[in-house]
Amino acid sequence: MIELIKQPWHWLAGGIMVGLTVPALLLLGNKKFGISSSLRDICAMCVPADIPFFKYEWKKKVWNLFFVAGILIGGFIANRFLQNPNYMVIAQKTQAILFQYGVKDFTGLMPADIFSWHNLLTLKGFIFFVIGGFLVGFGTRYAGGCTSGHSIMGLSNLQWPSLVATMAFMAGGFISANFLLPVIFKLIQ
Amino acid sequence: MKNIKYLVVGIFFGIVFVKAEIISWFRIQEMFQLTSFHMYGVIGTAVVVGMISVFLIKKFNIKTFSGEAITFEDKKFNKGQIIGGLIFGVGWAITGACPGPLFAQIGSGFGVVIITLLSAIAGTWVCGKVSHKIGPENE
């Protein structure tokens, strides 16, 4: 059994379990699945700076911080005890394209040639961590939600603005992955 | 403490994130290069399961375990969903993560992603700071 769990899970299993988070949170306490809100709560809690956008009762939303802390712990458990003994299987075509860009490490979930501490103070680190993270935080807040709040919770509740947001997420991602990343990789080489 | 149950759901969810490889930068690249069905399968299935769940909860007027009513709010459309959505999409392909996976990436040994998370918090803060000018959702 444990050997089976250690294998990468099929998208159907993953999708069902991610989807079940929606009713789990609703049934546990009428909570709406939406992770980017936790970033706003952290701002409201730590650096509200008298900004009206962060003046609300964040204490009522502390549950979300417990939730994301759990995600972090879950990531640790999965990596420590349930790690896939094999190399990651990546689509040939994507691997070839990324290799051309200069990515050399295809063994783990993330390429170690980008996501390592020794890149922190380089242009590579600045783009992939600092700029990338900033765009994720700014964009999700401006959009009023992320993949969880809009694409999963919003679509589950048949909200058309969430469909618009999801299409914008995908459009941004397509542009970024196919046109922007090639330029970025050239820049950092 | 009443919030512990959310921690438990989060732990479960974090394990799913890693084991279904949803936190993988490679899987995100595949999704946007249209070379693998994996992420479409995950998100599509999750939406269907979520939709059925919400439908059933509404249809049978199901309450929370403690007997509270379950409520739903409608999302209002605003331009932030398009502009912010595009901006997030660009960041998604660069970092290989939406906000949830950021936490799981840190937990699963990619410690440097803590910088990405801090920067995402900074991005959220800046969005809040200028929100009166650009007008994102403000509930």
pLDDT in tens, A57-101: 999 999 999 999 999 999 999 999 999 999 999 999 999 999 999
Sort out which chain A residues have CB atoms less than 8 A from B130's CB and list them: none
Q: To 5 degrees, how large is the angle CA B107–CA B112–CA B113?
A: 65
The more confidently predicted of residues A1 and A132 is A132
Say what the pLDDT of residue A3 is. 86
Query: Average model confidence (pLDDT) for chain A?
Result: 96
- In eight-state DSSP terms, residue B24 is -
At B69-114, the pLDDT tens digits run 999 999 999 999 999 999 999 999 999 999 999 999 999 999 999 9
Please state, in angstroms and rounded to a whole number, the distance separating the CA atoms of residues A91 and B29.
10
Number of neighbouring beta carbons within 10 Å of residue A72: 21
Judge contact between A130 and A136, C-beta under 8 A. Answer: no
Inter-chain residue contact B74 with A159, CB threshold 8 Å: yes
Structure tokens at A4: 């089976």
Nearest to B112 among A11, A117, A168 (CB): A117
Say what the pLDDT of residue B137 is. 52
* pTM above threshold 0.90: yes
Inter-chain residue contact A164 with B124, CB threshold 8 Å: no
Say what the pLDDT of residue B127 is. 96
Nearest CA in chain B to A105: B26
Nearest to B107 among A72, A140, A178 (CB): A72
Please state, in angstroms and rounded to a whole number, the distance separating the CA atoms of residues A50 and A57.
13
ipTM metric: 0.96
For A148, what's the count of Cα atoms within 13 Å in the CB-facing half-sphere?
27
At A167-188, the pLDDT tens digits run 999 999 999 999 999 999 999 9
Please state, in angstroms and rounded to a whole number, the distance separating the CA atoms of residues A30 and B58.
12
**Which of B94, B102, B118 should we substitute to test contact with A (largest number of A Cβ atoms within 10 Å)?**
B94
Inter-chain residue contact B132 with A26, CB threshold 8 Å: no
For residue B139, name the pLDDT band (cuts at 50, 70, 90). very low
Direct distance between the N- and C-terminal alpha carbons of chain A, in angstroms, rounded to an integer = 44
Amino acid identity at B80: G
Inter-chain residue contact B10 with A25, CB threshold 8 Å: no
Say what the pLDDT of residue A2 is. 85
Which of A25, A69, A11 has its CA nearest to residue B16? Answer: A11
Nearest to A15 among B35, B41, B116 (CB): B41
Structure tokens at A98: 């990324």
Distance of CA B96 to CAs B21, B71, B123, Å? 11, 33, 17
